Amino acid sequence: MRITNEADYALRIVYNLLDGSQRSAKLISEQTGVTLRFALKILRKLALSDIVGSQQGAAGGYYLKRTPSEISVGEIIEIIDGPFLINNCMDSVYICTRMGKNTENCPFHQFFDELNIKIRREMFTATMDKFI
């Protein structure tokens, strides 16, 4: 189980904006080590999810739309990677080769489901203000 590089970069980008300042995509790219093209792609996703706002013009740039205490690590990861699932069998469209669609009686499914719930709870409880 691993978050993608894109989700890791999204966390870096949000972290870079935690001080409340407004920065250009170019400066964000330079300060985070994320290529400008990839940073723009991530910033677009974060903007569509109302985490980041943007202002155009010479004095424009990107900024956080919410306070760090209102933005969770889990939210950022799921914006980029989609719903967090620790195992394929957690996905509603997955058909288990052992149990078919009847996963309620599978001890592995039950274990992974409980673990998935715990991990998601931790990810969504951890807000970005923890990293200031």
**CA triplet 118, 123, 128: central angle to 5 degrees?**
155
Q: Where are the domains of the chain?
A: 5-131
Q: What is the mean pLDDT of the chain?
A: 92
Assigned CATH topology for domain 5-131: Arc Repressor Mutant, subunit A (1.10.10)
Q: 97 versus 6: which is more confidently predicted?
A: 6
C-alpha to C-alpha distance for 116 and 86, rounded to whole angstroms: 6
Residue 86: the pLDDT is 86
Query: Pick from 9, 46, 54, 47: which is nearest to 29 by CA?
Result: 9
- Per the DSSP assignment, residues forming a β-bridge with 55 are 61
Nearest residue to 16 via CA among 71, 97, 74 = 71
The whole-number pLDDT of residue 1 equals: 61
3-state secondary structure of 78: helix
Spatial separation of the C-alpha atoms in residues 44 and 55, rounded to whole Å = 13
Spatial separation of the C-alpha atoms in residues 67 and 48, rounded to whole Å: 17
39-89, pLDDT tens digit by residue? 999 999 999 999 999 999 888 899 999 999 999 999 999 999 999 888 877
pLDDT band at 99 (very low <50, low <70, confident <90, very high): confident
